[in-house]
Structure 1
Amino acid sequence: MTILRYYRKFVLATVCLIAILITSTRLTKWSLHSSELGISSFPIDYNPNRTNFSSSVSTTKSADLTTSPLVKPYEPSCKYFPNTSDILVVVKTGATESYSKIPTQLITILRCLPDFLIFSDMEQNIAGHHVRDSLDSVLDQAKERNYDFDLYHRQKACAVNQQSCNLNSERNLKFEGWRLDKYKNIHIAEKTYHLRPNYDWYLFIDADTYVVWHNLVHWLRRLGDPSKKHYIGSIALLNDFAFAHGGSGYILSRATTVDLARNHPGIANQYDTKARMSCCGDYVLSLALNETLDIGVKQAWPTINGEKPYTIPYGPREWCHPIDFEQRFYQSRGVPHPIIRFKDIYHEFVAPKLITKRDDWDNLSEDVLYLDPEQSGRYPKWQRDSAKKPHQQIHVAAVELNAHKSFEHCRRLCDSNRDCFQFSYRAGACAYNKSFRLGKPAPKVDNEEEKWISGWKIERIRAWVERQGQCKEPVWPKI
Structure 2
Amino acid sequence: MASSVLVILKTGATEAPLKLPVHANTTFRCTPNHVVYSDLAETIAGIPLEDVLADVSPAIRASHPDFALYEAMHAPLRAEDPHGPRKGRAALDDAAAAATAAAAWTLDKWKFLPLARRALARMPAARWFVLVEADTYVVWPSLFDWLAGLDPDQAMYAGAPTQIGDVTFAHGGSGVVVSGPAMRRLVETVEADGVAAWEDVTTREWAGDCVLGKALGEAGVGLTWTWPLTQGRRPGSLDYGSAMWGRRAWCYPAVFYHHVDAREIEGFWEWEQEWYSRGLPRIRHSDVFADYIAPRLATAPEPSRDDWDNRSDYAEAEGFQTHPANASSSDGGGCARRCADWDECLQWELKGGTCFLAKVARLGNPVVGSSAGGVGVGVKEREGDGEVQSVRSGWMVERILKRYGEQEECAGEEWVV
Question: Quick check: TM above 0.5?
Answer: yes
Q: Distance in 2 between matches of 1:424 and 1:129?
A: 40
Query: Quick check: 2:52–2:114 contact (8 Å CA) kept in 1?
Result: yes
Q: TM-score, normalised by structure 2?
A: 0.73
1:225 equivalenced with 2:161 (yes/no) = no
Q: Looking at CA atoms only, which structure, 1 or 2, has the larger radius of gyration?
A: 1
Give the deviation of 1:130 after TM superposition. 4.4
Cα pair distance change 1:321/1:461, threshold 3 Å:
same
The alignment's C-alpha RMSD in Å is: 3.4
Superimposed CA distance per residue, residues 403-431 of structure 1 (whole angstroms, 9 cap, x where no aligned partner):
xxx8479536731x4xx534557778865
Residue in 2 that maps onto 1:196: 123
Give the deviation of 1:185 after TM superposition. 0.7
Query: Quick check: 2:132–2:176 contact (8 Å CA) kept in 1?
Result: yes
Q: Distance in 2 between matches of 1:424 and 1:126?
A: 38
Secondary structure of the structure 2 residue equivalent to 1:262: helix
Query: Quick check: 2:312–2:357 contact (8 Å CA) kept in 1?
Result: no
1:88 equivalenced with 2:30 (yes/no) = no
Q: Distance in 1 between matches of 2:405 and 2:287?
A: 14
Residue in 1 that maps onto 2:416: 478
Residue in 2 that maps onto 1:414: 342
1:330 equivalenced with 2:266 (yes/no) = yes
Cα pair distance change 1:235/1:180, threshold 3 Å:
same
Following superposition of structure 1 onto structure 2, how do residues 266-277 of structure 1 map, counting pairs within 5 Å? 268-277=195-204
Any stretches of 5+ residues in structure 2 without a counterpart?
77-83, 243-247, 325-333, 368-380
Query: Quick check: 1:202–1:254 contact (8 Å CA) kept in 2?
Result: yes
Calculate percent identity across the aligned residue pairs.
28
Give the deviation of 1:211 after TM superposition. 1.7
Query: Quick check: 1:235–1:242 contact (8 Å CA) kept in 2?
Result: yes
Residue in 2 that maps onto 1:367: 318
Cα pair distance change 1:229/1:464, threshold 3 Å:
same
Q: Distance in 2 between matches of 1:429 and 1:239?
A: 37
Q: Distance in 2 between matches of 1:130 and 1:102?
A: 11
Any stretches of 5+ residues in structure 1 without a counterpart?
1-82, 376-405
Superimposed CA distance per residue, residues 109-164 of structure 1 (whole angstroms, 9 cap, x where no aligned partner):
11243222221113334566543221222123333421111122211224416553
Higher relative contact order (CA 8 A, sep 6+): 2
Give the deviation of 1:198 after TM superposition. 0.9
Following superposition of structure 1 onto structure 2, how do residues 334-349 of structure 1 map, counting pairs within 5 Å? 334-335=273-274, 336=276, 338-346=281-289, 347-349=291-293
Superimposed CA distance per residue, residues 362-418 of structure 1 (whole angstroms, 9 cap, x where no aligned partner):
33452124579xx9xxxxxxxxxxxxxxxxxxxxxxxxxxxxxx8479536731x4x
Secondary structure of the structure 1 residue equivalent to 2:250: coil
Q: Distance in 2 between matches of 1:453 and 1:413?
A: 19
Following superposition of structure 1 onto structure 2, how do residues 387-466 of structure 1 map, counting pairs within 5 Å? 407=335, 411=339, 414-415=342-343, 417=344, 421-422=346-347, 432-433=358-359, 435-440=360-365, 441=367, 455-466=394-405
Q: Distance in 2 between matches of 1:210 and 1:195?
A: 23
Structure 2 counterpart of 1:345, one-letter code = V
Following superposition of structure 1 onto structure 2, how do residues 101-112 of structure 1 map, counting pairs within 5 Å? 101-112=19-30
Residue in 2 that maps onto 1:319: 250
Secondary structure of the structure 1 residue equivalent to 2:6: strand
1:249 equivalenced with 2:170 (yes/no) = no
Q: Distance in 1 between matches of 2:349 and 2:161?
A: 27
